C-alpha cells in the first residue's frame, strides 16, 4: 500500500478526519514510544485513551482505530483479550512523516481568528479553572469558601468561556478541538457543582420542614 498518497493513505486519513484523526495518530505514535514495561505490540488502546485525556480531549478513539486497521492498513492487531487490545504500526516512518507534515501545513495556526480565539481562551487560565472545579467536585462537602469560588468562576470567567465555546463550535470546531473539550468540561463541572449545592439546600429545607411538622408547628 502507498502510505504517501491516495484516499486510503495516512494523508487521506488526515484529510478526512482532520484534527480528530491527527490527535488519534499522535496518541498512538506517542504510545508506541512508551518503554519500561512488557508490551504485546507497539501500543495498547488503553494508552491511546490515556494520552488523549492528557491532551485535554474526551472522545473514544476505538472507532478510528478500527478504521485505521480495516480501511487504511496503517495498524494491525497483535493481541486481543477482554481487557487488552494491542496493535503494531505497519509503517512507523511514514506515519511520523505524515504527522510532521500535517503539523506544519494544516494551517491551524495561520488563521488570525483562530489565534485570537486561542489567546482569549488561554488568557482565562482554563486549565487552572478545570483543575479547581475537578478538585471541588470530589469533595463531599461544599462549604461557604467553595461556594464563593464557584460563584466567582460563574460570574467572571464562565460567561467568556461560553462565548468562546459558541464561536469555536460554529466556526473552528476542528481547529480548536482541544480547547472546545476543555471548555465543555468546565461548563459540565460547574453545572454539576451548582446542582450539588441546590440539592443540598433542598434537602436542608425538607429536613427542617419535616422537623417542624413533627413538632406540630
The series of mean pLDDT values per 10 residues for the chain, 217 residues long, is 54 88 91 79 92 83 94 93 92 86 64 86 92 90 90 95 93 81 91 86 47 39
Q: What per-residue confidence (pLDDT) applies to 57?
A: 83
Q: What per-residue confidence (pLDDT) applies to 203?
A: 41
Enumerate the CATH 1.10.10 domain ranges in the chain, comma separated.
10-105
**Burial of 18 by CB count in 10 Å (0-12 exposed, 13-18 middle, 19+ buried)?**
middle
Q: 52: which residues sit within 8 A by CB, 6+ positions away?
A: 23, 24, 27, 58, 59, 61
Dihedral over Cα of 174, 177, 179, 180: its sign: positive
Q: What per-residue confidence (pLDDT) applies to 215?
A: 34
- Is residue 184 within 8 Å of residue 162, measured between CB atoms? no
Torsion of CA 75, 65, 106, 112, to 10 degrees: -160
C-alpha–C-alpha distance, residues 66 and 72, integer Å: 9
**How, if at all, do strands 85-89 and 43-44 pair?**
antiparallel
Q: Give the 3-state secondary structure of residue 81.
A: coil
**How, if at all, do strands 75-80 and 85-89 pair?**
antiparallel
Across the beta sheet with 75-80, what order do the strands follow?
A: 43-44, 85-89, 75-80
Phi then psi for residue 142, to 5 deg, are: -105, 105
pTM for the model stands at 0.55
- Is residue 114 within 8 Å of residue 170, measured between CB atoms? no
C-alpha–C-alpha distance, residues 20 and 216, integer Å: 62
Q: CA 143 from chain center: how many Å?
A: 29
CATH placement of domain 10-105? 1.10.10
Q: What per-residue confidence (pLDDT) applies to 196?
A: 86
Q: What per-residue confidence (pLDDT) applies to 201?
A: 59
Q: What per-residue confidence (pLDDT) applies to 6?
A: 46
C-alpha–C-alpha distance, residues 90 and 29, integer Å: 12
Q: What per-residue confidence (pLDDT) applies to 100?
A: 82
How open is the CA angle 144-188-45, to the nearest 5 degrees? 125
Amino acid at each position: 500500500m502507498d502510505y504517501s498518497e491516495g484516499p486510503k493513505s495516512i494523508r487521506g486519513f488526515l484529510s478526512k478526519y482532520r484534527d480528530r484523526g491527527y490527535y488519534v495518530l499522535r496518541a498512538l505514535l506517542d504510545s508506541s514510544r512508551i518503554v519500561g514495561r512488557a508490551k504485546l505490540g507497539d501500543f495498547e488502546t488503553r494508552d491511546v485513551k490515556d494520552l488523549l485525556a492528557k491532551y485535554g480531549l474526551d472522545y473514544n478513539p476505538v472507532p478510528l482505530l478500527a478504521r485505521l486497521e480495516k480501511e487504511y492498513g496503517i495498524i494491525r492487531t497483535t493481541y486481543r483479550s477482554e481487557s487488552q487490545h494491542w496493535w503494531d504500526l505497519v509503517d512507523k516512518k511514514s506515519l511520523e512523516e505524515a504527522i510532521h507534515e500535517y503539523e506544519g501545513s494544516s494551517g491551524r495556526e495561520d488563521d488570525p481568528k483562530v489565534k485570537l480565539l486561542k489567546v482569549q481562551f488561554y488568557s482565562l487560565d482554563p486549565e487552572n479553572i478545570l483543575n479547581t472545579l475537578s478538585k471541588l467536585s470530589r469533595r463531599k462537602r461544599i462549604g461557604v469558601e467553595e461556594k464563593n469560588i464557584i460563584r466567582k468562576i460563574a460570574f467572571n470567567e464562565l460567561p467568556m468561556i461560553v462565548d468562546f465555546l459558541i464561536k469555536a463550535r460554529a466556526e473552528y470546531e476542528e481547529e480548536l478541538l482541544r480547547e472546545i473539550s476543555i471548555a465543555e468540561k468546565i461548563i459540565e463541572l460547574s453545572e454539576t457543582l451548582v446542582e450539588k449545592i441546590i440539592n443540598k439546600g433542598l434537602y436542608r429545607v425538607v429536613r427542617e420542614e419535616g422537623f417542624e411538622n413533627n413538632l406540630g408547628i
